[in-house]
Amino acid sequence: MADPANTKLGRMLLDEITPVVMVLRTPLVEESCRKNGLSLIEMLAPFSNFNNIDVPVRTASDQPYRLRKFRLRLFYGSEVRQPNIEAAKERLKQVITFSGDKDISELCSDPPDIESLIATSKQELVPSWFQNFNKELIDVVAFSEHEAFDHPVACLVAVSSKDKDPIDKFVDLFNTNQLPPLLNDGAMDPKILKYFLLVHDNQDGMLEKASGILTEMRSTFGANDCRLLCINTSADGTEEHQGTLWASYKNSISNNKQYGCFLNADDIEELRSTMHDFSSKHIIPHMELKIRVLNQQISATRRGFRNQIRNLWWRKGKDDAPENANGPMYTFSSIESQIRVLGDYAFMLRDYELALSNYRLISTDYKLDKAWKHYAGVQEMMGLTYFMLDQSRKDAEYCMENAFTTYLKMGPSGGRNATRCGIWWAEMLKARDEFKDAAGVYFRISGEEPLHSAVMLEQASYCFLLSTPTMLRKYGFHLVLSGDLYRKCDQTKHAIRTYRGALSVFKGTTWSRIRDHVHFHIGRWYASLGMFDEAIKHVLEVLACGHQTKATQELFLRDFFQIIQETGKTYEVLRLQLPVINFPLIKVVFEDHRTYASTAAASVRESLWQSLEEDMIPSLSVMKTNWLESQQKVLPKKYKESNVCVAGEAIKVEISFRNPLQIPISISNVSLICKHSAEFDETESDANGFSIDHQNDKELRAVSNSGEFSLDTSLFTLSEIDISMRGGETILVQLTVTPKIEGSLKVVGVRWKLSGSVVGICNFNSDIIRKKVTKRKKKPKQPVKDNLQFLVIKSLPRLEGVVDNFPKTVYAGDLRRLTLELRNPSKISVKNLKMKISHPRYLIIADQEVMNSEFPTCLRKQESSSESCTQVDAARAASSLFVFPETTAISSETPLKWPLWFRAAAAGSISLYITVYYEMEDESSVITYRTLRMHYNLEVLPSLEVSFQTSPCSSKLQEFLVRMDVINRTSSETFQIHQLSCVGDQWELVLLQPMESVSSLKLLMAGQALSCFFKLKNRRTRQSTEENTFLATSGRADVKLVDGDSTGLYDTYISPFILFHHHERVHQEKQEQGHGGTVDFILISESRSGSDAGVASKSPIWWLIDGPRSVRHDFSAAFCEINLSMTVYNSSEDVVSVRVLTLDYTPAINSATSAASGSGNEVGWHDISHVSEIKVTSDVTGVRAGKAPPSTDSVSPFIWSGTSSTRLNLEPLSSAQVPLQICVFSPGTFDLSNYILYWNLVSSGGHDADGPKVSSGTCQGHSYHIAVLQKE
Amino acid sequence: MIVCVAVVGHQNNPLYIQSFTESDDVLKLHHIVHCSLDVVDERVNNPKKSGPTLNETFLGLLYPTENYKVYGYLTNTKVKFILVTTDLDVRDADVRNFFRSFHAAYVDAVSNPFHVPGKKITSKVFAKRVSGIVQTFGLSSAG
């Protein structure tokens, strides 16, 4: 380590622990000095500091040494006392405030990077005013009685030559009344060295008089102790001095006055020689003398073994003395005081060895006396002496710590001393590069006084920063602590400064809670200082604090808006974090030659459309052969990459906003930022060195008015959207920009307004590109679609297409006629329309004549139906590309309507894609053709499920039996089966049952099933044997299953049927191949919704039998018992009494009254032809094997074995279960319809006047089939 | 009573920090944990006592603040566990036991295939288990 005297602490000690000279003067002296703008002390101060005094000093030892640096501290007599605490506090505060004001300019700059912070040297780092502050703190405890180094060594008595009776004045000045308490109360020797100075103002002339007084003085006070000082020799007051002479000693604020203007060079020389004389000839010899005297005295009384013992003995005896709070009072004459004075004098004269030995001697005494303050003071000095001797670091530290803790132990009275001791201690540690320990000391100094603590904590934090290894986190933490305290004392500027320092620590870390706290408070404090730009910058950092609690988020947001409000300006903030934009979700939809009918169509994958349009649009190679044609068609090469869009057509950009907070926020005026350049050349140059706005550099800017907008509106229009977001919500926003003029357009970014006060801007370009760079490594080819650069070409016709009344949900098999409507809003007409549909199984194009005819009657059989057309249709069906007739060039205002056939082929959800191709009449355009893409989603619900079983008829070779099972799978719909047709010329279909018996049944309720039997004849082979007339009469391949005349039959040979059949066939062949010789049937049914209501009105109850449908039982063992349950539901508003009556005979009696009376007899299983029946069933599946022989007698093959009659009351709109049981004696299939439900309304209180209500009724049982089989 | 436990990743990023006090001194505890990392760094970078303590994961008392004692633990993967307690006389064995079970809980939590290494631990099971360990810590030291 370097010389301790050159360290900071060393210099400090050499400055502070120096002899004190008490100055007494008359008012006239002061007046003379004031002419120069200086007090007497101030005037003398520069000359009481000697850098090279070179005085030989001989203290206790006989070896003299030379003193180089020396300094006197001058104080007025009135100042030599313990300073007023309150005044000192005020002064400290001033120091801090003053330095705070000075720093304000730095507050605007960015906080330094943490790495650079470490690199900076400590001088730069630690604010310089700390030194001033520490000095002020030390001065607070000056002139305490227990330390001798602040006791005046000498007294300088100054009297002006203008004073009357100067000699008396000299005596008067040293009057005890005005002397400081130290001298009066006996803490120090009142007999101190006096030096008499006669100050003469040369402006007053009368030098003779002054010299007269001097001689008088000399005779009175002694020749050596008197001196004449002449000042103000310069008459005009224009003397110039080096500004530094007084500047460093004068700390008052008024700097404008020229100090020492009346002092010429002679005066200054005289001042210098006076002070030099005073110190070298009087003070130093005096001190030397005193040291020698005291040393001898002490050696006599205290040194040596005998004296030690005696001293101990004597001290012991004093133990009983009552303890004073401050310990015993030591007067100047006591041996303890003298030792202390000796030590301090030796210290001041740099004889540290002597000082140390004396301090050691006295320290034990004080300790034994329990004079803690004195003890601590001595320990402190010992520590400093050790330091100055640069030996035994441990001892030095031990002494300092001892002193520090002793001061603290004394309670509040020692606090200030402890502070001083701590500052010295910390400085000592710092001088030895033990910064960590120094920080600990600073931390301990910080006491109750918040302002002191703040400064101390800040100093501690810098120590942490300077320590090795650097303790950054502690640095930050202590800065935050200190900042809080500064803020408590209203030192906002200091608070900001410390927090900014802390911010550099927390900036890059993930300790978000701390970081938010720091940012938020800095922001607030800036706002309180009125520096709103900075405030907003910091508060912005914490806005997107999703991790904080809701209350905190609200607080942050509220304060943010408050700050914004206070500024009264609208701010534009780049990268506003609220709401967050999810970048990968930005999607751009634009239309070049591809146009979309709906947004749903736009979201479909491009490859899907491309495959659909493959053979429709002219291929690229065709385009390229056109190079001879017209040059302007070829795009500038630059724009091969950029997208083409059409003027007047909107570009849609989808952006997803996410609210990271838990509290709702409202966003308004969301719109895109676009850049339009009208000319091609300009953009080309622009595209090379793309320098967008300079907004990147500026994070924040205030906009006065949206002046730039008005310019832009002529080039393009933007859509504006207002949204409000709930907490944590993500909203997809679609924004559009519509260019109006040809040129090039670039979507630069998006802007929005948060809560109507802050404008947020997000620049896509910079952010996306940044992301792309990382992405590009993996995926070199970027989809062109993401590019936000557009080439705007002049407006083109754009067809708008819609399919009218396209159903959302349909039942399977539903056949509808739809209308495609194409509209061309522009003036330019289009031509060469083509259309393609993705799923011809569902949707086909009809003939235009269909438009005019009525549906579905147009499908009915016409008398003059020609079979030849079927072949044409089939051919057309083969190709899915439909070319509109040449005439259908649509121009503006006349929409083209074209019918479509729709059939829901299979259940499930299906997406239909329709694309329409058209060409421009205007050949000159860049784009010669466009496609309109339409997309529809629909849900197909299951409806009728039809299955057929054919088996060859055994009786006739060319005939087949066909069983058709139809089940209604819907939940509510009712269908009427209308017609069954088979496709092809060679087939003939005949119903096996009589028409009447079937027809009424064909109303299929929800969930109902139905079976029908048909006979199928192959006509092709029969044709040779039978007459042609038969063909005509028995119809062809159609069987009508509904009442009515034969004209109601649908013609299955006309376009929709035959086409759909074709596609269905194609579809099925794809699924299962190699299935020759099939017959295709077409079942036509009509929806009859609403018939449910009709049934319900007749009877308030309905019921359901639940039980096994097939049972296997070994009849050789016993008869079979089957348990069933009936659920009865009361759908009326009244309580209904229901009686279930089971009958063991077929109820024929009620057929006339029953609701389902028409079917009463026919319900269930009927054998039509005994012989064929059995054979068919056995042939087909065997499921119905063992059909019971028809019951000719009244005894049924089963009996109801449970209670034959059950009565129950049903609450309104409730259901109940009735257990049923049957006994079966032989295997077979049984119809359990032979029961009756009688019902009557019990509580018919509400008999209305408008008509008698049916209050009772009888219901015939539903058919319920159960198959009982012999168990093998 | 344990007032705070924390898991800090090897880049000194907080992975999990949970305080167990009613009063609103979360920020303070964050600061304390954050500061204690300095001490952990110091201990790790210049191990004065090599030899037996070389492979020791338990770092011992990091530093006493005014009202708290802070203990540290360093796993092999340089993940730090910090424990802040208000008990002024804590047996080292207790703290060791605490850290051992805490380490086990941590290992289980990060073994979850859905946990992203280096990201915050959001597992509720882990939080529940930690609070269980914290509660038993108080009991064992009392008994």
For the segment A630-684, what is each residue's pLDDT rounded down to a tens digit? Answer: 444 444 444 455 677 777 777 888 888 888 888 888 888 888 887 777 654 443 3
How much is the average pLDDT of A828-856?
A: 76
Higher-pLDDT residue of B128, A223: B128
Whether the per-residue pLDDT at A590 is higher than 70: the answer is: yes
DSSP A7-69: SHHHHHHHHHSS-EEEEEE-HHHHHHHHTTT--HHHHHGGGGEES---EEE--SSS--EEE--
Q: How many structural domains comprise chain A?
A: 7
Same domain, A767 and A824: no
Same domain, A931 and A1006: no
Same domain, A1244 and A1174: yes
How much is the average pLDDT of A1087-1112?
A: 59
Q: How many structural domains comprise chain B?
A: 1
Residue A963 near residue A949, CB atoms below 8 Å: yes
pLDDT at B105: 92
The band of A1055, judged by pLDDT with boundaries at 50, 70 and 90, is low
pLDDT cut 70: percent of chain A above it: 70
Q: Tell me which residues of chain A, numbers 482 to 511, contact chain B at a CB-CB cutoff of 8 Å.
A: 509-511
User: Among the ranges A91-95, A919-923, A1242-1246, which has the highest mean pLDDT value?
Assistant: A91-95
Decide if A471 and B26 are in contact by the 8 Å CB cutoff.
no
Residue A480 near residue A502, CB atoms below 8 Å: yes
Whether the per-residue pLDDT at A696 is higher than 60: the answer is: no
The band of A865, judged by pLDDT with boundaries at 50, 70 and 90, is very low
- Structure tokens of A462? 């810098």
pLDDT at B7: 92
Whether the per-residue pLDDT at A1090 is higher than 50: the answer is: no
CA distance A363 to A375: 6
pLDDT at A222: 79
Q: Which one of B13, B35, B46 has the shortest CB-CB distance to A473?
A: B35
- Average pLDDT of chain A, as a whole number: 72
How much is the average pLDDT of A785-792?
A: 68
Three-state secondary structure call for residue A900 = strand
Chain B residue with CA closest to A474: the answer is B35
Which CATH number does the domain housing residue A959 bear?
2.60.40.1470
How much is the average pLDDT of A683-689?
A: 36
pLDDT at A747: 79
The band of A714, judged by pLDDT with boundaries at 50, 70 and 90, is low
Which CATH number does the domain housing residue B108 bear?
3.30.450.70
Decide if B38 and A473 are in contact by the 8 Å CB cutoff.
yes
Query: Nearest CA of chain A to the CA of B91: how many Å?
Result: 26
Mutate which: B31, B37, B120, vs A, most A CBs within 10 A = B31
Residue A511: its chain B contacts at CB < 8 A?
13-14, 30, 34
How much is the average pLDDT of A923-943?
A: 79
The band of A123, judged by pLDDT with boundaries at 50, 70 and 90, is low
Rounded to 5 degrees, φ, ψ at A138 are: -70, -40
CA distance A439 to A568: 44
Higher-pLDDT residue of A1172, A532: A532
CB pairs under 8 A between A and B: 35
- Mutual angle of helices A352-369 and A372-389, in 10-degree steps: 160
Chain B residue with CA closest to A480: the answer is B31
Query: Nearest CA of chain B to the CA of A725: how many Å?
Result: 26
pLDDT at A121: 54
The band of A1028, judged by pLDDT with boundaries at 50, 70 and 90, is very low
Q: In this predicted model, what pLDDT tens digit does every residue of A402-426 receive, in sequence order?
A: 888 888 888 777 778 888 888 888 8
Same domain, A1114 and A981: yes
Same domain, A177 and A125: no
Instruction: Tally the residues of chain B.
Output: 143
Chain A residue with CA closest to B119: the answer is A510
Residue A472: its chain B contacts at CB < 8 A?
38
Higher-pLDDT residue of B11, A601: B11
Residue A550 counted as domain residue: yes
How much is the average pLDDT of A809-822?
A: 80
- Structure tokens of A640? 């091969």
Range of the structural domain that residue B58 is part of = 2-142
pLDDT at A1209: 82
Chain A residue with CA closest to B42: the answer is A469
Final residue belonging to a domain, choices A361, A384, A414: A414
Mutate which: A461, A499, A510, A552, vs B, most B CBs within 10 A = A510
pLDDT at B134: 87
Same domain, A265 and A193: yes
Residue A231 counted as domain residue: yes
Which CATH number does the domain housing residue A905 bear?
2.60.40.10
How much is the average pLDDT of A831-844?
A: 80
Q: In this predicted model, what pLDDT tens digit does every residue of A839-851 receive, in sequence order?
A: 777 887 777 776 6
Q: In this predicted model, what pLDDT tens digit does every residue of A59-108 receive, in sequence order?
A: 777 778 888 788 888 888 777 777 777 787 888 788 778 777 766 556 55
Mutate which: B38, B45, B116, vs A, most A CBs within 10 A = B38
Query: Nearest CA of chain B to the CA of A478: how many Å?
Result: 10
Determine which of A192-201, A532-541, A617-626 has the lowest per-residue pLDDT on average: A617-626
Query: Nearest CA of chain A to the CA of B36: how many Å?
Result: 8
Q: Which one of A464, A474, A517 has the shortest CB-CB distance to B27?
A: A517
CA distance A1038 to A990: 8
Quote ipTM for the complex: 0.89
Same domain, A531 and A461: no
CA distance A612 to A610: 5
Residue A509: its chain B contacts at CB < 8 A?
12-13
Q: Which one of A471, A510, A517 has the shortest CB-CB distance to B13?
A: A510
Residue A454 near residue A486, CB atoms below 8 Å: yes
pLDDT at B104: 92
Range of the structural domain that residue A113 is part of = 85-140+433-497
The band of A509, judged by pLDDT with boundaries at 50, 70 and 90, is confident
Cβ-based neighbour number of residue A547 at 10 Å: 12
Same domain, A904 and A788: no
CA distance A108 to A96: 19
Same domain, A1151 and A1210: yes
CA distance A1161 to A997: 10
Chain B residue with CA closest to A470: the answer is B38
Three-state secondary structure call for residue A1120 = strand
Beta strands in A470-568 (DSSP E): none
Decide if A514 and B12 are in contact by the 8 Å CB cutoff.
no
Q: In this predicted model, what pLDDT tens digit does every residue of A1127-1184 receive, in sequence order?
A: 887 777 777 888 888 776 654 433 333 333 333 333 333 333 333 333 333 333 333 3
pLDDT at A235: 66
pLDDT at A149: 79
The band of A236, judged by pLDDT with boundaries at 50, 70 and 90, is low
Residue A1075 counted as domain residue: yes
Whose CA is closest to A898, among A940, A854, A851? A851
Residue A1071 counted as domain residue: yes
CA distance A899 to A894: 16
Residue A640 counted as domain residue: no
Q: Which one of B14, B38, B46 has the shortest CB-CB distance to A510?
A: B14
Residue B34: its chain A contacts at CB < 8 A?
473, 476-477, 511, 514
pLDDT at A460: 87
> What is the maximum alpha-carbon separation in chain A?
178
Q: In this predicted model, what pLDDT tens digit does every residue of A467-500 receive, in sequence order?
A: 877 888 888 888 888 888 888 888 888 888 888 8
Q: Which one of B13, B14, B34 has the shortest CB-CB distance to A473?
A: B34
- Model pTM greater than 0.90? no
Same domain, A1043 and A1077: yes
Whether the per-residue pLDDT at A1244 is higher than 80: the answer is: no
User: Among the ranges A576-590, A765-779, A1101-1115, which has the highest mean pLDDT value?
Assistant: A1101-1115
Buried b (16+ CB within 10 A) or exposed e, A498-509: bbbbbbbbbeeb
Same domain, A784 and A724: yes
pLDDT at A178: 67
Which CATH number does the domain housing residue A11 bear?
3.40.50
Residue A1194 counted as domain residue: yes
Which contiguous run of DSSP H or E holds residue A213? helix A207-221
Query: Nearest CA of chain A to the CA of B7: how many Å?
Result: 12
Same domain, A230 and A94: no
